[in-house]
Amino acid sequence: VCWHPEQIAPIHGHEGEKCWMRVELGSLNICNYKLESIDPLFLSIVNQIKGDAGFLDGPAEIHSVENIFDEDAISLHVYAKPFSECDIYNLDTGKIDRVELAYDSIDKQLC
């Protein structure tokens, strides 16, 4: 995945599958969470990490990833099984939103 400065993947899950992520270039801010309750929505932070090139995170179940740095970054993601939808945990609204995923896309348009 290519990450431009200020680009973010919101807090999301992986359908019960595990995810491993390795930073290949640049640096990313990674925050792993534990779901404490659904109603009201409450997540606790397990850890927050600055991942530099070569850093490996995982297995993660719920996390957010953000490029808070001034340079582009690249990461490689490996999932136990593919999935086509995931949950986004919106702390501002207190809701869990179900979203459809698209792979091999440019600006959300499938290639």
For CA atoms 67, 73, 79, 84, give the dihedral sign: positive
pLDDT of residue 109: 67
The pTM of the full predicted model, rounded to 2 decimals, is 0.79
Summarize pLDDT for 38-75 with one digit per residue, the tens: 989 999 999 888 988 888 887 778 999 999 999 999 99
- The full 3-state SS of 48-91, as one line of letters, equals EEEEECCCEEEEECEEEEECCCCCCEEEEEEECCCCCEEEEEEC
Q: Which amino acid is at 57?
A: D
Sign of CA dihedral 19, 24, 26, 27: positive
Alpha-carbon gap, residue 13 to 55, rounded angstroms: 20
pLDDT at 76 over 80: yes
* Domains by residue range for the chain, with CATH: 2-110 (2.60.120.10)
Nearest residue to 43 via CA among 56, 67, 29, 61: 61
The whole-number pLDDT of residue 28 equals 95
**Distance of alpha carbon 28 from alpha carbon 8, whole angstroms:** 10
- Whole-number Å distance between alpha carbons of 16 and 18: 7
- C-alpha closest to that of 26 among 70, 65, 59: 70
Q: What is the mean pLDDT of residues 72-94?
A: 88
Q: Residue 23: pLDDT band by 50, 70, 90 thresholds?
A: very high
